[in-house]
Homo-oligomer: A and B are copies of this chain.
Amino acid sequence: MVDPNADRAVFRQLADLLRDRILSGELAPGEKVPSELRLTQEYGISRTTVRQAMAVLRAEGLVVVDRPRGTRVRAAEAPETVTLRKGDTVIARMPSPAERRELDIAEGVPVMVVTRADGSTELYSGDRTELFYPPVSRR
């Protein structure tokens, strides 16, 4: 499964394996990922290495920790739509811990920064929000 002599680091190989299982749906959203102890035994590697692999998946926003119950595949919420207007600009970046707390954003989920034509800015969870540029004037 994982090869200590491969060019790729063991923790990256394990992250790849778990990522594949998540993206293929074998590990469904909300489902528990095998525990760290379990993974150390299954692959014959140290807990340090397992934790590095999990850190990779957390940073990618693929899993969230439900401590101390376990780590679960992140279940993306249905996005809410925010309407863009003429002259708006958008960039994306990772939130600071304070912003994460305020917007209740999980690890590994970016924010979209919408700068309105008047210069004001708004922050949206990249995960929970979908920006929309309307095709026709409404109403």
Interfacial residues, chain A to chain B (CB-CB below 8 A): 12, 19, 55, 59-61, 79, 81, 84-94, 96-97, 107-112, 117, 126-127, 129-136
Closest Cβ neighbor of A125 among chain B residues: B92
| Complex alpha-carbon distance, A136 and B91, angstroms | 20
Chain B residues within an 8 Å CB radius of A94: 59-61, 108-110
| CB of A136, distance to nearest CB on chain B (Å) | 8
State whether A91 and B130 are in contact (beta carbons under 8 Å apart), knowing that A86-B135, A110-B110 are contacts in the complex.
yes
| CB of A20, distance to nearest CB on chain B (Å) | 11
Closest Cβ neighbor of A55 among chain B residues: B55
Chain B residues within an 8 Å CB radius of A117: 135
Question: This chain: how many copies in the complex?
Answer: 2
**Chain A interface, >50% SS class:** loop
Chain B residues within an 8 Å CB radius of A131: 89-91
**A91 and B61: CB pair below 8 A?**
no
| CB of A76, distance to nearest CB on chain B (Å) | 9
| Complex alpha-carbon distance, A94 and B133, angstroms | 22
| Complex alpha-carbon distance, A110 and B60, angstroms | 9
| CB contact between A91 and one of B85, B86, B88, B126 (< 8 Å): that residue | B126
User: Would you mind naming 19 contact pairs between A and B with Cβ atoms under 8 Å apart?
Assistant: A12-B97, A59-B108, A60-B94, A61-B94, A84-B84, A84-B133, A85-B133, A86-B134, A86-B136, A87-B134, A88-B132, A90-B130, A90-B131, A90-B132, A91-B126, A91-B127, A91-B131, A93-B127, A94-B110
